[in-house]
Structure formats: C-alpha cells, structure tokens
Amino acid sequence: MEKFRAYRIDEQDGKIAAGFQDLSIDDLTPGNVVVKVSHSTINFKDALAATGAGKILRRYPLNGGIDLAGTVISSEDLAFEPGTEVLVNGCGLSETVDGGYSEYARLDSNSLVPIPDGLTAVETMQIGTAGYTAALAIHRMEQNNQRPENGPIVVTGATGGVGSIAIDMLNARGYEVAALTGKENEAEYLREIGARNILNRGQLDLGKRPMEKAQWAGAIDNLGGDYLTWLTRTMDYGGNIASIGLAASPALNTTVLPFILRAVCLLGINSVDTPRETRLAVWKRIAGDLRPRHLDRIGHTTIPFEDLPGAFQAYIDGTVTGRVVVQIGS
C-alpha cells in the first residue's frame, strides 16, 4: 500500500508538536483489522491532545482522533470481513493506539462496532464519542431507576456535543429537560433540540448549605467543580447524577449528606473503557430508542481533513456549539 496522510501528535522537548505526516500501515500501532477511514470528529479531548492544553496521550507519537468510522479492507478476525462498515470510539484511540485522524487505521477487532442498521458512517460521527457518552449516561441512569415521571433532568454544558445530544435523547424519551449554559445567545438552539427550560450559568445561585431545595430528579454534568457540588445539593430523593466531564474543574467539594439523606447517586461515566457487551448494547439503543432526532441541527458542520489543525482552538476557547465531523476519505 502506498503512503497515506495522518495527523500525528508528538512530544519534543516537553512540548506538543502536531501536524500532517505521510505514513505506511507498518507505522501504525498493532492490530488485526485495517480500516479505511471515511470520517472522524472533533471532541474537547481531541483539542486538548492536539494543542497540548491537556495531557491525553500516554505514549508518543500517535495519530490524533478519539473517533472514527470507515470500511474494513483486511481482517484476521472472521467477524469483520472486508467491506464491513465499522465505527470505533474511545478504546484507547489517541491515548495508547493510533486514532482516527488518518486515512487508514490498524485496530484490535475487539474495539470495532459494526455500524448499526439505520445509521450511516456520517451519522455515527455526528454522534461520536460525545453522543455515545450521553447515551451511556442515560443508559446507566435508567439502570438505576431513572424515569421521566420522577421529575426534570438538568444538563450542564448544554451547548457542547455531549450536552446537546443528551438533551435531544432525553427529550425523545419523554424527560423534561433543563439546560444550563453560559451562552445566552444559544437559548433558541437549546429549545429547538428539546430543552424545556434554560438556566443562565452566570446567574445561578450555587448555594452554601450541604443541601438546598430539591429541584432535580437527575443530571448529566459536563462541568465538575462547583457546579457538580451544586447538583449534589439540589438533587431530589433517589436522583442520579451522571458525571462525564470536568470542563470547569476536576474538584468536588461536598458532604455525604445528600447521599445518605436523599439517597443521591453519583454515577461515573467512562466512555473509553466500556466493556464490549455494554458498548454494543448502547450503540444499539443509539440506533433505536435513543436515536437523536436533531442530528442535522447538532452536527451540521463538516470540515475537510486539511482544515483540521485550525479547528481546535475554538474548543479550547469554549465557543463551539454542537458537533463537528471531519471528512477524512473522499
């Protein structure tokens, strides 16, 4: 096979150096399946890795991109014949193995998910790790007795990829959704995708007492820090908080009182290391009862591969709304 293009991240003198390189299959991390990549995505985690704003890679160099979709071209696993359309999210992409910012990827077949019936490669990347994380959070919450009749769900970091798709999915499931955002100008967008109420982050009273007035039956939190503390204080009896991000802070300063007096449950959501059985079940739900209804609104932006380097800073600045798909192949 001839050389192909990849966006590769390296470390030189303690600083991140990233850019396009020409590679061969033998340059890639080991795997038993080779995939021709058609699409990838940009996530906050990708921006942290590519800019050096956060330490994501555990080895260097690696191709960036924690998501990919494409077609199997060769396989040592009979379960994935050439021509099979597949997706991968998490599973060590751009952390321990080469990621999706490459025209070809060599992967362990255990990380591959056949693209579910009813979804295209583009749609799986409009969803990507962000949508998968939102679905996994809802899946875990519902395993823990979350129901629409329990009361409203609040989603923090609402205009981001996880937040946007979580709002869409929750609304489709019949939940009343409140969106917490710092972007007042995006209120119309949030209502369009399913938010019933909009909360302005800048005007929020986070409270000081160990427990404040109960407001929520559940939450999906992208922020961490003081906002996650506020969620523990304002959760109703038996409420589930799915913790999926730390855009504000990794710290959590709270007390045990909400957990023992209101039976609040804090659920940690790890989209990278999900057991395969659960991963397949969640993607099946994404193609079924959790299928987003506003993907064209949430994931309306597609950029060509060559424009990738210029797209990361907006994620660091927190100015991105919805999802961005990267077209890797022709």
What are the structural domains, with CATH classification, of the chain? Answer: 4-115+300-327 (3.90.180.10), 129-268 (3.40.50.720)
Measuring CA to CA, which residue among 11, 44, 107, 72 is closest to residue 271? Answer: 44
- Are the C-beta atoms of residues 40 and 65 closer than 8 Å to each other? yes
Containing 189, the helix (H) or strand (E) segment is helix 187-192
Residues 110 and 277: their CA atoms lie apart, in Å, by: 10
Kindly report, residue by residue over 190-244, the tens digit of the pLDDT: 999 999 999 999 899 999 999 999 999 999 999 999 999 999 999 999 999 999 9
**Given this model, what pLDDT does residue 329 score?**
87
Tens of pLDDT, residue by residue over 174-188, are 999 999 999 989 999
Q: How many CA atoms lie within 13 A of 254 on its CB side?
A: 25
Helix H or strand E encompassing 199: strand 197-200
134: left (phi over 0), alpha (psi -120 to 50) or beta: alpha
Is residue 104 packed enough to be buried (19+ CB in 10 Å), middle (13-18) or exposed (0-12)? buried
Model confidence at 276: pLDDT above 90: yes
Tokens representing residue 329 in the block: 């192949």
Residue 258 clears pLDDT 80, i.e. is over it: yes
The tokens of 318 are what? 């927190």
Chain segment 53-101, per-residue pLDDT in tens = 888 999 999 999 999 999 999 999 999 999 999 999 999 999 999 999 9
Beta carbons of 5 and 37 less than 8 angstroms apart: no
3-state DSSP of 11-45: EECCEEEEEEEEECHHHCCCCCEEEEEEEEEECHH
Higher pLDDT, 299 or 167: 167
**Sign of the CA dihedral 142, 43, 272, 327?**
positive
One-character DSSP codes across 287-329: TTTT--S-HHHHT-EEEEGGGGGGGSHHHHHT---S-EEEE--
Question: Which pLDDT value is given to residue 53?
Answer: 87
For residues 212 and 237, give the distance between their C-alpha atoms in angstroms, rounded to a whole number: 12
Q: Give the CA distances from residue 296 to residues 123, 127, 147, 214, in Å, rounded to whole numbers and listed in that order.
A: 9, 11, 27, 35
